[in-house]
Amino acid sequence: MNKAQLIELIQKKLGADTTKKHAEEALAAVLESIKEGVQSAGKVQIIGFGTFATKTREARTGRNPKTGKAIAIPASKTVAFKAFSNMKG
């Protein structure tokens, strides 16, 4: 499912009075809120859905696939999602 299909589904779930624009604004608001929550608190937990949390990747050595030369990959932060058990069916 892509973003456009998700917006259509949200519009249908909210009813005939909801426009695609309102559904898109609702989705954007939810995604922006999750982003802000992860940035400020490091974790956003939605009961019955899952948890978004920051993860730290340690520095490591990798290889350039073209040359085979070893390169240093610096430590970085990323966001991970872990689904709750009822979502894994």
Domains recognised in the chain with CATH numbers:
3-87 (4.10.520.10)
Kindly indicate the confidence band of residue 87, based on its pLDDT and cuts at 50, 70 and 90.
confident
Distance between CA 42 and CA 21 in Å, rounded?
30
Is 0.85 topped by the overall pTM? Answer: no
From the number of C-beta atoms within 10 Å of its C-beta (0-12, 13-18, 19+), residue 26 rates as middle
Kindly indicate the confidence band of residue 89, based on its pLDDT and cuts at 50, 70 and 90.
low
Residue 25: both structure tokens together: 């604004």
Cα dist from 57 to 7, 44, 70, 78, 79, whole Å: 33, 19, 18, 7, 10
Single-letter amino acid, residue 74: P
